[in-house]
Amino acid sequence: MERTLFFSGNEAIAYGAVRAGAVFACGYPGTPSTEILETAARLEGIHAQWCVNEKVALETAVGASLAGVRTLVTMKHVGLNVAADPFMTLSLTGVNGGLVVVSADDPGMHSSQNEQDNRAYARFAKVPMIEPSDSQEAYDFVAEAFALSEEFDTPVLLRSTTRLSHGRGHVIPRVPVELEPRDYVRDIGKYVMVPQYARLRNRLVLERLQKLRTRAEETPLNVLEAGTADVGIIASGVAYTYAREAFPKAWFLKLGMSHPLPYRKVARLFQQVSRVAVVEELDPFIEEQIRALGLPVVGKAAIPADGELDQDIVFRALEPFVSRRPPRRRRPVFPPAPRLADPPQPAPGLPVRPPVLCPGCTHRAVFTALRRHKLAPMGDIGCYTLGALPPLLALDSCLCMGASIGMMAGFNKALGRKAAAAVIGDSTFFHSGVSPLIDAHYNEAQGLVIVLDNRTTAMTGHQGHPGTGLRADRSRGPAVDIHKLCEGIGVRCDTVDANDYRALDAAIKAELDAPGLGVVVALAPCVLMVREKAGEIVVDDERCNLCGLCLDVGCPALGPRGGAVAVSDVCTGCGLCIEICRRGALSYAGASGAGAEGAR
Amino acid sequence: MNGTTTVSLVGVGGQGILLAAAILAETASAEGLDVKASEIKGMAQRGGTVLSTVRFGENVWSPVARHADVVIAMELLEGCRGLGLLAPQGTLVCATTTRIVPGSVLRREEEYPDDLPAAAAARGVRLIALDAEALAREAGTLRAANVVLLGAASAVLPFAAMSWQRGLAAAVPAKILEVNERAFALGRGAVSNEEVGP
């Protein structure tokens, strides 16, 4: 075994991550979290990168996790507010390679604008919260956090605070963790969080929380430490070290995994002693949950709810309580597992009517071209998310607004090749797609970003956005040009007419063959804004053998009739089916065998 | 329940469900009743199912209800699905000649239902079936099929003709009011002229 090291908590987290087999780390600097990534960047065996903000960092980390590697993402407490959008839904999708989110909180606001207690995020997102109390635990618990993440298919939140991050202590290094490689497996039910899939995942999250609580009862991270005095203290993180020093004879329930709370371990402490206090910095996170069990505790009535603690504050706060007459013993009442709503029951025997891309929607052409390539296309939020569903099956993920580009970047970085693409709408691009594009350029991520520019915010009913200049009151403001914006960033950009399938197909192919990062803007106004029909499409019943190629793009205007395909009156004449047909069976009325040579 | 009547309007995005619901809500308001309405329309423009619920009575609390007294269906498949929304003894008003075929049926993965009258009878539901598109065309525009159905439903809803007039005038844009009034009258007339199921 190597010699004992002397690490700050932040260094210990970085070393612990490498020891746990993490090979990808990212984050945004913020005191007191910064040195975690700075340390990782110096270490062998792990790629570390600063991202443009915490949201992009988390999305990039999710991409790396999906690619199959253990991934660490670091930020300060307020950074998690920025990353909250992907974080909340990541709880539903879960992970592939273990994913640990470090939130470094700053009680006392040494260098922060607030002192929010991010344990609330663990409860909010229903994910485990790991709280080391010193450098050795920081080093050790990171591996535990990664293992939990993979076992329970969840992101794990690891909370540091200023005194852990910037405190130092001895660390005994451990043997590196051996890992089996994890392949990426496409799973739209898990990674595409459209309502029908998200409802099912949400039930799994609620069930997972119950299983995690059972684990919290069993894990050695939560330890009941015997004392000699008739006093018990429940504490987590650095607060434990203060309480331990102030009351050396007390019993302790030390919580290394503070969420979900191990109710029975709490009850066991109450069996041992007649007075119990909770020592925690900032919010009464643990205290309120214990009170909910009907157990009498002293907490924030004595321990300050703001600022940092130390052993002196803890001692003075709890001294009177220790000598006071103990409260009457009470039995805990454990809350039952919550009931889940009855799952939706589809009407038996009736066809479902899922939302679909409109007839003539040019997204369909992009997806048809894109799915010719063996890629993991990361999706985003808009009408085009529907392209993830059958029969198109053209997108692999939908996490939150603007997540596609960061996820693509992380995925491709982790695998070292162009294995993923990103598909994002114009309005979503302005919402939160520009930052990750800047980030992907800065970090030299490989990949293809397709911006589906239909000149509107279509899904919600055709609202304007900066790309169109159209404002809420229908007045016109200056418009931002996506193509120029991309070039201004320094990213190669090709804008093609999305109504021209062949040009689209060629642009995508060219971009995939090119090195590095590039954008293809697939430009065509939303078909709902284009009123006139492009042409009448007719079927040559002799040539059509109902092979199903055109039906496979999910156009509502196409269906079989007899032994051939029939075009219904909802057809807009976009002509994609003409391009797809290999037998030249479809053509514009009047044009002789327009599609006769077929698409490639 | 408790003197509150629930009407659910179902169909496919683009069929004018929200306008029909607005007319109904205005009509109930014109009767001096308390009204609550809610709709799920996020997927309305993408060919998904749209459901709008209007509840009226002396004092309406909840905006939703598990069962409706009347279901107005703008399309046959959604009418079949709407049976599941009906309370026993309820009435289904359905455009039984309107078929908007979903992709899974086009691709022959699922079958479009074809026996609404039997299904309605089996559930003890009164079915008012009509060719809403034909009547709407007769009124002057296919787009008024929603109001044809509303006219048919008015036969089983407890509102005065004057209230319906006020409801239509309040919810329908002035330049298409007349054609919608004709559509409403044709729908209402169709019910009294037709043999109505149990």
The pLDDT of residue B42 is 66
* Beta strand residue intervals within A221-292, DSSP E: 222-225, 231-236, 251-255, 257-259, 275-279
Task: Return the ∠ at Cα A215 (arms to A214 and A220), rounded to 5°.
Answer: 130
- Note whether A381 and A400 are within 8 A (CB): yes
Q: Please give the residue of chain A at the shortest CA–CA distance from B103.
A: A556
CA–CA distance, A240 with A244 (Å, rounded to integer): 6
| Tokens found for residue B156 | 């089983």
**Would the CATH topology of A5-210 be identical to that of A222-323?**
yes
The correct CATH number of A363-529 out of 3.40.50.970, 1.10.10.10, 3.40.50.2000, 3.40.920.10 is 3.40.50.970
How many angstroms from the chain centroid is the CA of residue B180? 15
pLDDT, chain B, mean = 92
Task: Tell me how crowded residue A543 is: count the other CB atoms within 10 A of its CB.
Answer: 17
CA–CA distance, A556 with A358 (Å, rounded to integer): 7
Q: Indicate if the pLDDT at residue B1 is higher than 50.
A: no
Task: Return the ∠ at Cα A20 (arms to A17 and A22), rounded to 5°.
Answer: 60
CA–CA distance, A207 with B155 (Å, rounded to integer): 49
pLDDT category at A597 given cuts 50, 70, 90 is very low
Q: What value does the mean pLDDT take over residues A476-489?
A: 98
Residue B177 structural domain: 5-193
pLDDT category at B193 given cuts 50, 70, 90 is low
The pLDDT of residue A185 is 97
- Show residues of chain B in contact with A558, CB under 8 Å: 106
CA–CA distance, A440 with A411 (Å, rounded to integer): 11
- What are the extents of the domains in chain A? 5-210, 222-323, 363-529, 537-588
Element spanning A43, H or E: none
The pLDDT of residue B195 is 46
CATH code of the domain covering residue B180: 3.40.920.10
In this predicted structure, which of A155-169, A192-206, A256-270, A546-560 has the lowest mean pLDDT? A546-560
Residue B198, in any domain of the structure: no
- Show residues of chain A in contact with B101, CB under 8 Å: 559
Beta carbons of B111 and A351 less than 8 Å apart? yes
Residue B68, in any domain of the structure: yes
A339 or B40, which is more confident? Answer: A339
The pLDDT of residue B2 is 57
B40 or A485, which is more confident? Answer: A485
The pLDDT of residue A596 is 42
Report pLDDT digits (tens) over B44-84: 667 788 999 999 999 999 999 999 999 999 999 999 999 99
% residues pLDDT > 70 (chain A): 98
Nearest Cα residue to B22 out of B181, B185, B171 = B171
Q: Which fold has domain A222-323?
A: Rossmann fold (3.40.50)
In this predicted structure, which of A294-298, A338-342, B6-10, B53-57 has the lowest mean pLDDT? A338-342
% residues pLDDT > 70 (chain B): 94
Task: Tell me how crowded residue B141 is: count the other CB atoms within 10 A of its CB.
Answer: 14
Beta carbons of A551 and B107 less than 8 Å apart? yes
Beta carbons of A560 and B49 less than 8 Å apart? no
The correct CATH number of A5-210 out of 3.40.50.970, 3.40.50.2300, 3.10.620.30, 3.90.79.10 is 3.40.50.970
Nearest-10 crossing angle of helices A195-218, A135-152? 130
Beta carbons of A351 and B78 less than 8 Å apart? no
- Note whether A383 and A459 are within 8 A (CB): yes
pLDDT category at A522 given cuts 50, 70, 90 is very high
Smallest Cβ distance to B77: which of A350, A386, A560? A350
Q: What value does the mean pLDDT take over residues A462-484?
A: 97
In this predicted structure, which of A71-85, A104-118, A198-212, A349-363 has the lowest mean pLDDT? A349-363
ipTM of the complex: 0.85
Residue recorded with tokens 């004709």 = B182
Number of domains in chain B: 1
Residue B28, in any domain of the structure: yes
Q: How many CB contacts within 8 angstroms connect chain A with chain B? A: 66
Beta carbons of B84 and A349 less than 8 Å apart? no
Smallest Cβ distance to B47: which of A347, A356, A391? A356
Q: Indicate if the pLDDT at residue A220 is higher than 70.
A: yes
Q: Please give the residue of chain B at the shortest CA–CA distance from A561.
A: B106
Q: Which fold has domain A537-588?
A: Alpha-Beta Plaits (3.30.70)
Report pLDDT digits (tens) over B113-135: 989 999 999 999 999 999 999 99
Strands A99-105, A156-161: parallel, antiparallel or unpaired by DSSP? parallel
HSE, CB side, 13 Å, CA atoms: give it for residue A182.
23
- Show residues of chain B in contact with A559, CB under 8 Å: 101, 105-107
Strands B34-40, B86-95: parallel, antiparallel or unpaired by DSSP? unpaired
Give the distance from residue B114's alpha carbon to the nearest chain A alpha carbon, in angstroms: 10
Nearest-10 crossing angle of helices A34-42, A9-19? 50
Q: Please give the residue of chain B at the shortest CA–CA distance from A549.
A: B107
Nearest Cα residue to A221 out of A142, A311, A167, A106 = A142
Q: Indicate if the pLDDT at residue A305 is higher than 80.
A: yes
